[in-house]
Amino acid sequence: MTSHTQPQGTTRAAAGGGDPVRAPETGTVPQRTKRAWILLALTLFVPGGAQVVAGDRRLGRAALRVTLTVWALAVVALVLFFVNRDLLIRIGANTWVLLGCIVALAGLAIGWAVLWVDTFRLLRLRLVAPGMRPLIAFASVLLLLVTSGALGYGAWAVNAGRSTLTSIFPPGQAIEPVDGRYNVLLMGGDAGEGRIGLRPDSIHVASVNAETGRTIIFSIPRNFQNARFTEDSPLWSAYPEGFSCGDECILNALYVDVMQSHQDLYPGAQDPGAEAMKDAAGGILGLEVQAYAMVDMAGFAQLIDAMGGVTVTSGGWTTYRGHRPDGQWGNAWWGPGTYTFNGEQALAFARSRHFSTDYSRIRRQQCIQSAMLAQFNPQTLIPRFQGILEAGEQIVETDLPGQQLGTFVSLASSGRSQSTGRLTIGAPDFGDQGDRFTTFPDFDLIHQRVGEMLSEDGTPQAAGAVPAPFLFVDAAAGILTAGTGNIDSQGADSDNPDDWPAPPPQPDGDPITEDWLMYLEDTGQTGLLEEAAKTNHLCVAGRG
């Protein structure tokens, strides 16, 4: 009798006569190995698919319904991104939507992990090729960690962002646009060396078009005197002639004075000093300032450090406190060129006022703000997300209502692609330094110039009414920053370093050096130092 021997896998397949996908023991070893890789691919790309073809069909169908729902939402979001991006931003910035995202992401992370564990059970590793077992097991664990881990991290990140936003933006009634514009005062608060209390050294009122998002920034020098207030301000009872007591009554001192002596004028206010600054800024510009945001300049440095620094290109010599060329501590200098500043250096660059003007200081502050805004991108945010959120939560105080965050973010997104107007209430937009416009301001002229800029933007002021400002909000990090962009206003310098004038030389024509500047200071030649620093208002974000 003749005996025929067949391969073991073939014998089992013939004997079992089953489906090698649902019954892998009926297939050959190559079939079982291929099956294992297919099940992993299904769980990766079509979660639930492996269970439908090889396991618990009820579990698989439930998972597939979830998968199809997620795909549908992703398609809707993609369509909105191209068709109605503003609506998508508003939805995504809503705190209740963010809460739903947190729950959904956490649920998806757990559900996908369950599917991976079940898929690993279905693989039946003992039936695949011995040499492939370690590789398939490693791939299973890796894919579980990558997919469920990514969703879990996403839930944590959204929760951290939502917590930061809700801590920064208080609940409250929505603010309505006035004459087609939103209104926010942005201040950089600085306790400063040798000062009593906080003083807002950086004072900007930004006016945003509620339809187009185009922004106009009005910068008020900190040493502005004889400030007026809005018509209905309670400050008139304390300062009947306005804030006008001489050199002590510069604008940034109003905050401290109100906090120390007149908090009762704003009962129930979160920050009476900030409310007073809103009334003063509104009176100076002839605008109704609807909200404010205060940035702690000391914490500003922490935020920049969390971002990994900021890069700017400077067109002039700027002094800061540091080691001089002779090694002694005193006024050191940054020359023209490109710098990547850490937080402390960026703050010193923005604050520097020695041998310079308030206009130059304002321009450098705006340059640092522009650099920060330019660096709020995925490459910056993702690896430093937690540090940026922590810094942002600590440095920002605002009364902007949280329920309108989506509106503000949407307008900010629209405004990024448009030119930004800018007007400084002082030299050089109103005379030169010798005219002392900030000491003896012409309010009628200020209101006229402000009104002209608003009219040119398609939102003229109504008779007896006043529009106002806005603030760019980076919701991804919970940070507020003054609007920046392509500048087209009066008094603004080109953002192209190739168009900048050359820095002034020494009287004999030689280039300026740090040693020469040190010699000038030691010999009291202030005029030459001011001449050397006269181009330090020239600054642009990045490498120019």
Question: Where a domain ends, among 104, 137, 168?
Answer: 168
276-290, 316-330, 420-434, 515-529: range with lowest mean pLDDT: 420-434
Q: Are residues 268 and 310 in the same domain?
A: no
Q: Are residues 153 and 57 in the same domain?
A: yes
DSSP secondary structure of 318-386:
EEEEEE-TTS-EEEEEE-SEEEEE-HHHHHHHHH--TTS-HHHHHHHHHHHHHHHHHT-SHHHHTTTHH
Q: Which residues contact 227 (CB under 8 A, 6 or more apart)?
A: 242, 243, 244, 249, 251, 254, 280, 283, 284
pLDDT at 17: 45
**Residue 407: pLDDT above 90?**
no
pLDDT at 469: 29
**Domain of residue 48, residue span:** 24-168
Question: Where a domain ends, among 411, 431, 459?
Answer: 459
Among 505, 515, 468, 453, which Cα is nearest to 178's?
468
Alpha-carbon gap, residue 486 to 496, rounded angstroms: 11
pLDDT at 353: 84
Alpha-carbon gap, residue 119 to 131, rounded angstroms: 20
CATH number at residue 536: 3.40.630.190
Q: Are residues 303 and 226 in the same domain?
A: no
Helix ranges (H only) for 245-341 are 252-261, 272-285, 297-307
HSE value, Cβ hemisphere, 13 Å, CA-based, for 320: 18
Other C-beta atoms closer than 10 Å to the C-beta of 164 total 22
Q: Are residues 111 and 236 in the same domain?
A: no
Alpha-carbon gap, residue 188 to 369, rounded angstroms: 11
pLDDT at 195: 46
Higher per-residue pLDDT: 276 or 183: 276
Average pLDDT of the segment spanning 56-85: 93
Q: Which residues contact 399 (CB under 8 A, 6 or more apart)?
A: 170, 172, 270, 271, 274, 291, 292
DSSP 460: P
Cis peptide before 428 (omega within 30 of 0): yes
Among 51, 21, 45, which Cα is nearest to 33's?
21
Q: Is residue 315 part of a domain?
A: yes
Alpha-carbon gap, residue 221 to 376, rounded angstroms: 27
Q: Are residues 263 and 318 in the same domain?
A: no
Which helix (H) or strand (E) is 424 found in, with range?
strand 419-424
Average pLDDT of the segment spanning 267-274: 91
Instruction: With beta carbons less than 8 A apart as the criterion, state whether 505 and 435 touch.
Output: no
Q: Tens of pLDDT along 218-268?
A: 989 988 999 999 999 999 999 999 998 888 889 989 999 999 999 999 998
Q: Are residues 66 and 159 in the same domain?
A: yes
pLDDT at 87: 81
**Residue 186: pLDDT above 70?**
yes
Q: Tens of pLDDT along 362-403?
A: 888 878 877 876 766 555 555 555 566 666 566 678 888 877
DSSP 264: G
Confidence class of residue 412 from pLDDT cuts 50, 70 and 90? confident
pLDDT at 498: 84
Q: Are residues 160 and 198 in the same domain?
A: no
Question: Where a domain ends, among 168, 200, 234?
Answer: 168
Alpha-carbon gap, residue 349 to 319, rounded angstroms: 8
pLDDT at 76: 95
pLDDT at 532: 92
**Residue 16: pLDDT above 90?**
no
**Residue 467: pLDDT above 80?**
no
Asked whether the whole model's pTM tops 0.85, one would answer: no
Q: Tens of pLDDT along 109-149?
A: 999 999 999 999 999 999 999 999 999 999 999 999 999 99
Q: Are residues 515 and 427 in the same domain?
A: no
Q: Which residue has the tokens 């002779």?
A: 326
**Residue 12: pLDDT above 70?**
no
Task: Determine whether 373 is exposed, middle or buried from the number of CB atoms within 10 Å of its CB (0-12, 13-18, 19+).
Answer: buried
Q: For the chain, how long is the longest CA-to-CA vector?
A: 125
289-293, 416-420, 506-510: range with lowest mean pLDDT: 416-420
Q: Are residues 70 and 186 in the same domain?
A: no
* Mean of the per-residue pLDDT values of the chain: 83
Q: Are residues 286 and 198 in the same domain?
A: yes
> What is the tally of structural domains in the chain?
3
Q: Is residue 6 part of a domain?
A: no
